[in-house]
Chains A and B, each alone.
Chain A
Amino acid sequence: MKFEDYNPLEEKVFKIMDKKGKIINTDDMPNFTNDQLLYLYRTMLLSRTMDEKQLSYQRQGRMLTYAPNIGQEATQIGSAYALEKEDWIVPSFRELGAWLIHGVPLKNIFLYWYGNEWGSHMPEDVKVLPVSVPISTQLQHATGIGMANNIKKENNVVLTYTGDGGTSGGEFHEALNFAGVFKAPTIFVIQNNQYAISVPRIEQTASKTLAQKAIAYGIPGIQVDGNDIFAMYVATKEAADRARRGEGPTLIEAITYRLAAHTTSDDPTKYREDAEVEEWKTRDPILRFKTYLENKGILTKEWDEKMKKEVENEITSTFEEIEGKADTKIEEIFMYHYETMPPILEEQLKEYKDFLEGGKNNDK
């Protein structure tokens, strides 16, 4: 595929598979083996089940706040699958599928959402940065790593994510401008899930598409059907190839939808219609991919059932490993900013401990 063929000003969206799982663009269809296809499907199942489980644990009071990915699995998994092991992922906070593909252990993910700092401590060979909660600030880290790659003459690329709301942050502008002028090998994926918490896409910005914001930085920008795993893979792969050839960054707007709430503290029925959600359910990325695999005879009912059980067991047993055993100590809040704790943090730690002690005394 060529980015030039998908000018966002003409509202051309890159697609390979329609919502019924039919291949509508055979020219760009990637050549995956059956094992690869099933691996992608299994990862989608793992992501979806993990979301469902964590939501239910949270409602049972066994987990803290959680941001589900339901509906956005193809965007995350398709894009991350286009990377090499040595490439970097710089996430925001809704990229479960990308984490799973790039090798983040389930245990880390649970620890993170359990409020334990060790969740962000990735294995040495997993090139994934910790979650970035402040909206769009991670984009600058991604540009910086890309620039470092250029300086060190390494051939790795960086894949980073933000949401539709994140495109309005000043950091988005500064990061993409620098990436453009310094030709950073960075791929910016906007997960346009139609809402920034409760703000709909149309009220977020006056431009017709988010992809056209690439024009401001002299880089390619493309709209992709984010619920089409093949299209997401191919577009990201092309962006990665460009980056490796020294041609600089790319902006990909993945058009998708968050089928669940923003986080566990949000009630989306307050700001969107059920009919809209129902319509998007017909474009469910997993359903679509499953239909494709079934029609091709690659996925059988037995295999599907077996996989569902397998991922569920994997999730349940990992959660059991940490539940009740991963509470954070007060010290840990202060420990990891510096190699050794500076006096000012030691003071704050003491003050905090005294405060907690005082609190106990007051209760008496």
Chain B
Amino acid sequence: MDISKDILLEIYDRMVTTRFFSERINEFFIKGIMHGTTHLSVGEEASGVASCMALDKGDYTTSTHRGHSHAIGRGMEVIKIMAELFGKVTGCSKGKGGSMHLADFDKGHLGSNGVVGGGFAIATGAALTQKMKDTGKIVLCFFGDGASNEGSFHESLNMASVWKLPVIFFCENNLYGVSTPVSKSMNIKDVAVRAKSYGIPSYIIDGNDAVEVYKTTREAAKYCRSGQGPVIIEAKTYRYLGHSKSDECEYRCAEEVNRWKKKDPIIIFKNYLIENNIANQIEIKRIEDKALKEIDLAVEFAKNSPNPPLNALTEDVYA
């Protein structure tokens, strides 16, 4: 499978945008400029972005609490995401949702979600809609290793498989459910073996390799689109920062973090682009500068946007 230069560079663009965005958010939280909480995807940019890029226009995604890479991966405007995190009316959820309510229905992004395992049933329902309306579109459902122990995982995968629904269940296995290592929350090494429970195919891939993520997701999407039912993809990856802004990572050692940093998804992908003569240093630099500038503009935009009025509190809850 050949991937066009445009797509490869767009993947790189969205990956570095996610990285810079996340680092900036981290800084704002540390300085007390931004409030609430957030879960950053630093280290997980390849799995989050390259998978979204493998989808077609009109396909759907459901995200998790760690959803910045997915929102950016689906092409949501950074200004709307930034404004949302600042709690401003110009945010994608009018400043009332924050990091865990990043959604853009026009882009097919059904949203990040504060409930662990909250996306499974939404994705399965969305996939049922595609099947019943015969739209030819598919759904990609992101989830973590910890969420695969939830009852909603089982119920959704069971239903999706028995009804042959077009959904890719995409596990970003970052080895920890907050502080609990995978080995202490399940008696199996790979989440993907759970596919056996539902009689569906599965893939285990290097989640830090954007090209592998893209190609595997394309292949899985083709399978789903052909009406054969759901697929599990398990992408092994790692988050460099804490689970959330209030986590000091006292449960894992520096050696482990450093080992993963040597497999940084952005560096791996940048080297791939250069070594295969897809982009040169100047083009790479241009993409990175553009991403940084976009974030600067988004911060300015957010800071200059108004806060939601008090009476907005009760709006948008029910139709």
Interface string of A158-189 (1 = CB under 8 A from B): 00000000001111111001001100000000
In the assembled complex, which residues on chain A have CB atoms less than 8 Å from the CB atom of B185? 177, 181
Rounded to whole Å, the gap between the CB of B160 and the closest CB of chain A is 9
The interface residues of chain B lying within 8 Å CB-to-CB of A219 are 187
C-alpha gap A181/B123 in the complex (Å): 28
User: Are A169 and B161 touching (Cβ within 8 A)?
Assistant: no
Q: B149: nearest residue on chain A (CB-CB)?
A: A177
Please name all residues of chain A whose beta carbon is closer than 8 Å to the beta carbon of B188 when the two chains form the complex. Answer: 180, 215-218
* A170 engages B151 (CB within 8 Å): yes
In the complex, the chain A residue whose C-beta lies closest to that of B182 is A181
B residues near A212, Cβ cutoff 8 Å? 196-197
Interface flag for B158 (CB, 8 Å): yes
Bound state CA distance, A216 and B191, in angstroms?
8
Task: Please provide the chain B residues from 298 to 318 with a CB less than 8 Å away from any CB of chain A in the complex.
Answer: none
Closest to B196 in A: A215
A203 at the interface (CB under 8 A from B): yes
Determine whether A272 belongs to the interface, using a CB cutoff of 8 Å to chain B: no
B152, B161, B185, B196 — most chain A CB neighbours (10 Å): B196
B186 lies within 8 A of A213 (CB): no
**CB-based contact A216/B152 at 8 Å:** no
CA distance A217 to B151 in the complex (A): 13
**Bound-state Cα–Cα, A170 to B155, Å:** 6
Q: How many residues of A contact B (CB 8 A)?
A: 25
Question: Shortest Cβ distance from A135 into chain B, in angstroms?
Answer: 12
A206, B162: Cβ atoms under 8 Å? yes
Bound form: Cα–Cα A303–B184 in Å: 55
Q: Does A348 contact B (CB under 8 A)?
A: no
Docked complex: A194-213 residues within 8 A CB-CB of B: 203-208, 212-213
Partner of A216, one of B150, B184, B197: B197
Chain B stretch 201-225: residues in CB contact (< 8 A) with chain A? none
Quick check: B151 and A169 within 8 Å, CB to CB? yes
- Whether A171 contacts B151 by the Cβ 8 Å rule is yes
Q: Is the interface of A mostly helix, strand, loop or mixed?
A: helix
Give Cα A203 to B163, complex, Å. Answer: 8
- Nearest-neighbour CB distance to chain B for A215, whole angstroms, equals 4
**Residues of A contacting B229 with CB < 8 Å?**
206
B-side interface residues, number (CB < 8 Å): 25
CB distance from B185 to the nearest CB of A (A): 6
| Cβ–Cβ < 8 Å partners of A204 in chain B | 162
Nearest-neighbor residue (CB-CB) of B164 within chain A? A206
Closest to A173 in B: B154
Please, how many angstroms separate the alpha-carbon atoms of A177 and B158 in the complex?
A: 16
B229 to chain A: closest residue by CB: A206
- Chain A residue with the shortest CB-CB distance to B163: A206
Interface membership of chain A positions 1-33, coded 1 if the CB is closer than 8 angstroms to chain B and 0 otherwise: 000000001000000000000000000000000
Inter-chain CA distance A170–B194, complex, in Å, is: 14
Decide: A216 near B155, CB < 8 A? Known: A174-B149, A207-B199: no
Q: Which of A168, A215, A217 contacts B158 (CB 8 A)?
A: A168
B199 — which chain A residues lie within 8 A by C-beta? 205-208
Q: Give CA–CA (A212, B187) in the complex, Å.
A: 15
Across the interface, name the chain B residue whose C-beta is closest to A136: B151
How many Å lie between the Cα of A66 and that of B197 in the bound state?
Answer: 32
Whether B187 lies near A180 (C-beta < 8 A) is: yes
* B186 touching A218, Cβ below 8 Å: yes
Which residues of the partner chain B approach A208 to less than 8 Å between Cβ atoms? 199
Of A171, A174, A248, most buried by chain B (CB within 10 Å of CB) is A174
- In the complex, what residues of A have CB within 8 A of residue B184's CB? 181
Nearest CB on B from A70, distance (A) = 28
Complex: how many Å from CA A363 to CA B185? 59
Q: Which residue of B lies closest to A174 (CB)?
A: B151
B268 within 8 A of A: no
Which residue of A168, A171, A173, A215 has the most chain B CB atoms within 10 A of its CB atom?
A: A173
Q: Is the CB of B187 within 8 A of A218?
A: yes
**Closest CB of chain A to B60's CB: distance in Å?**
22
Chain B proximity of A108: nearest CB distance (Å): 31
CB distance from B116 to the nearest CB of A (A): 12
Chain B residues with CB below 8 A from A207, complex form: 161, 196-199
Residues of A within 8 A of B154 (CB): 168-170, 172-174
List 10 additional A-B contacts (Cβ < 8 Å) besides A171-B151, A172-B151, A177-B149: A168-B159, A169-B155, A170-B150, A173-B149, A173-B150, A174-B149, A207-B197, A215-B193, A217-B187, A218-B187
A-B contact pairs, 18 of them (CB 8 A): A168-B154, A170-B153, A172-B154, A173-B155, A174-B150, A174-B154, A180-B187, A181-B185, A181-B186, A205-B161, A205-B198, A206-B158, A207-B161, A207-B199, A215-B196, A216-B188, A216-B194, A218-B187
Task: Give the B-binding residues of A (Cβ under 8 A).
Answer: 9, 168-174, 177, 180-181, 203-208, 212-213, 215-219, 248
Residues of B within 8 A of A (CB): 149-155, 158-159, 161-162, 164, 184-188, 193-194, 196-200, 229
Task: Give 3 closest A-B pairs by Cβ, nearest first.
Answer: A170-B151, A173-B154, A218-B187
